[in-house]
Structure formats: C-alpha cells, structure tokens
Amino acid sequence: MKILVSGTGYVGLVTAVCLAEKGHNVVCYDVVKEKIDMLNQGKSPIYEAGLEELMQKNKERIIYTYNKKEAYKDLDVIFIGVGTPERVDGSANLDYIYAVADDIVENINKDCLVVMKSTVPIGTNYKVEKYIQDRLKGKHRIEIASNPEFLAQGTAVIDTLEAQRIIIGTHSKWAEKILKEIYKDFEKSVIVSTDINSAEMIKYASNDFLALKISYINEIANLCEALGANIEDVTLGMGLDKRIGNKFLNAGIGYGGSCFPKDTKALHWLAKINECELKTVKAAIDVNQNQKIRLIEKSKKYYEHLKGINVAVLGLAFKPGTDDLREAPSIINVEYLENNGANIKAWDPIAQKNFSKIFPQINYCDTIDDTIKDADICFIFTEWEQIKKYDISKYEKLMRKAVILDGRNCYKLDDVKQYNIIYESIGRKSIENIKK
C-alpha cells in the first residue's frame, strides 16, 4: 500500500516515521517548504526523543515533499495529521482539515481510504467524508476512518510503536481490513474496532478524564497546604488503590501542551451546543487556569511588588522532554512578571529558542547557575532532570535572597531543610529557614 501522511507536526510526523519503522513506504506532505527542507536534510522540525534517529534509519522508506501533485498520486491510504487549534469560543478550528479535504478532491486519481489522525469533534469524520464525496461526484471510492492518536510529547515515538491500544473507527469491512493490515505488525498493541463516532469520543473522553484527574489532585494539594497535610503522602495512599492508580496524580501548577487544554474546551463546547453541559470538564478548565498562577500568589508573601526584583525562571516548556510551549504555565507567569517590572533571567535546556520568539526582551542563560545568580526569587515551572538533580546548596550560595517557589515539587522537603532558604511547593508545607 502507498500511504500519505498530510501534516508534519507531532501527530503527522511521528505517525509517518513509525509506520516506516514497521515496514511501510510513506510519503510525508506539508505546505510549509521550510519544514520539508529540514526533513530532507534529516532534521526534525520538532524536538522529540528518538525521532531523528528513526528518520535516518528509515530514510529509504520515507519521502518528504511539498509538491501536492507528487504527494497525492496513486495513493491507497491518506492519514490526516494536521492541527485543530482552538477558536476563541473553545471550539476546534477545522480549517486545516478541510484544506486537506480539498487537496484530496483536487488530486487523487484512484479509490482510497482517508484516515483521520487529527483530534476532531465527534461527528466530524462523517462531515468530512460527505464533503469529499459530494465534490468527487462518484469519480472515486472514498471512505473515512477514525484512528485517534494517544501519544504524549516527550515519549511520542515509543507511545506510537508500543501503543497500549489502537482505536480504529470505521463503517465498512473494507476500511477496517485496510487499517488492520497497516497495524498488523504492532504486536504489543490491542486493536479496538468500533464505529466512527465512538472512536472520536474515545479520544476526547480519555484526554478529558486525565485532565480531570490532574485538576482534582491540584485542588486537593491546595487544600493540603491549608490544612497542613502532605500531598505526596496523600497521592501515595490514593495511588495504591488499583481503581485509582498512581498516574497523573502529581500536584503542580496545571497542565499545558497541545492536547489537554484544547480538548477539554472543545468537548465542553460540543456538549454545550448539544444541550448536555459537562460541568466536571468545565470545572477542570477553570481549576487549571487558576492553578497556573499559584506561584505568583505565593510570591506576594515575600514581595509586595515585583518592580526591580531580580527573578530567576527555571523551565519554560509545558513539560520535560519537549520544546513545546503551547499553554505552558511559564507564559502567563513570565507575562505577569514582565508587566510588573521584574528583571527576568530564564533557563530551559530545549525550549529557550521558542520562548524567545514570544519574549525576546528577557535574558536567557546557558546554565542554572547563571540564571539564579543574584536573584531575589526563583520560580520553577518545568521539572527537568537538570533541575531535580541540581545542588540545592547553590540556591543559598548564589541567590541574593534564596526564595524558591517550586511549581513541580522537584525537591524532597527533608533535603531542602538543610539549607538557609525559603522553599514553597505545591500541596506541601513551606520551609522558611531565613527571614522574609
């Protein structure tokens, strides 16, 4: 089978490379020439562990092109892997999806299966299928199938190659057979075959449940602080219950990234227009937004205002292992710090280049040492290993006043107690070994 993947972002590119790793010949298409040029040079436009190595290993099975006629010629299967960003009202923007649909209508020359890999609202697959079929007027057989992704940034390659489950939503045995053939060598994965609407819902329901879990534990963490309990002991006790599990129970300053924020808003919007409001999902959205500024609220205990205060920022990406800044808590916090006159120095091992496009005027440092030197306060927004393994004594030695506000609970309280610092985290007791 000749397979095309349209879109070379996280979903599209990882899908294409992993399909090639499983022995398929794949064409990767994108409208952005610069991205295709990078890919043809063996460089990934996104940071993802192991991706460039697999690109190199499978270079004989992958073609990267921005030539539309070349890309869509003689295809058996088309995977749609373009973005579906949120609109102002929370709904999913499907413009890129329909742009691919137009490309299909204008360029295909045979029967083919269209596979929706992008995250789209329930019912979208059928609408896109009808959109294509109405314009083709029976010229070629086109069917659509839903095949949502469940990769996590930072572990996307292994999440795809060793997926816990592969969901395929179809409305014909023909489409189901093609997808099962494509995924036959994914031995570690359970294939779940269902109808298209259910497949779309599985994606949203899964992501929104995890977002709910994160928001719930963050609220419990905030209550732990007020009542003198320790969130880590609480989550340990909770996580041992197999009905609950210990995943996504790490308290912090909220979720970010390309999935949870937009998927919670999209499902809430979809439910609302269908007169079925999801109050729990709406609560998760609100809790997460408030949680992102938790450290700013804590900082007011130590500085009435931030004008002229030297601020160190450690971690910019929304999570470790990626350079993605979408909905990263660092953005709203740095914006606040900047607007209130703070002198900001920032460090991140990967995301600085992307962050500098948003905040070109702040100072970026090559090391944690340089970032915290002479700082009056330090904010930790991402739990990078370099931060977790950092010598805590250096905060005391290098900072002008060692006030550390840790939004990711990077350090053990017993380790912090040894030093003359102020340390506040999420859901745990504060340590104040110096005067405010």
Q: What is 10-25 written as a DSSP string? A: HHHHHHHHHHHHTT-E
Q: pLDDT confidence of 434, banded at 50, 70, 90?
A: confident
For residues 266-278, give the mean pLDDT. 92
Pairing of strands 431-432, 422-424: antiparallel
Count of structural domains, the chain: 3
What does the alpha-carbon distance between residue 54 and residue 33 come to, in Å, rounded to a whole number? 21
pLDDT at 258: 85
pLDDT at 208: 96
**Domain coverage including residue 318:** 294-432
Task: State pLDDT tens for residues 292-304.
Answer: 999 999 999 999 9
Q: pLDDT confidence of 435, banded at 50, 70, 90?
A: low
For residues 345-352, give the mean pLDDT. 97
pTM for this prediction: 0.92
pLDDT at 35: 95
Q: Are 115 and 80 in contact (CB under 8 A)?
A: yes
For the domain that residue 250 is a member of, what is the CATH number? Answer: 1.10.1040.10
What does the alpha-carbon distance between residue 267 and residue 122 come to, in Å, rounded to a whole number? 9
Across all residues in the chain, what is the average pLDDT?
A: 95
pLDDT at 228: 96
- Which of 249, 266, 244, 264 lies closest to 214 in space, CA to CA? 249
Domain boundary among 275, 291, 307: 291
Burial class (CB in 10 A: 0-12, 13-18, 19+), 226: exposed
Q: Are 14 and 48 in contact (CB under 8 A)?
A: yes
Domain boundary among 194, 220, 235: 194
For residues 385-402, give the mean pLDDT. 97
- Residue 436 predicted with pLDDT over 60: no
For residues 227-251, give the mean pLDDT. 97
Q: Which of 28, 112, 224, 259 is catalytic?
A: 259
Angle between helix 124-136 and helix 95-107 axes, rounded to 10 deg? 30
> 234 with 126, same domain?
no
Q: Is 259 a catalytic residue?
A: yes
> 102 with 173, same domain?
yes
Task: State pLDDT tens for residues 51-75.
Answer: 999 999 999 999 999 999 999 999 9
What does the alpha-carbon distance between residue 338 and residue 322 come to, in Å, rounded to a whole number? 24
DSSP state for residue 112 in the 8-state scheme: E
> 247 with 208, same domain?
yes
> 112 with 62, same domain?
yes
> 276 with 143, same domain?
no
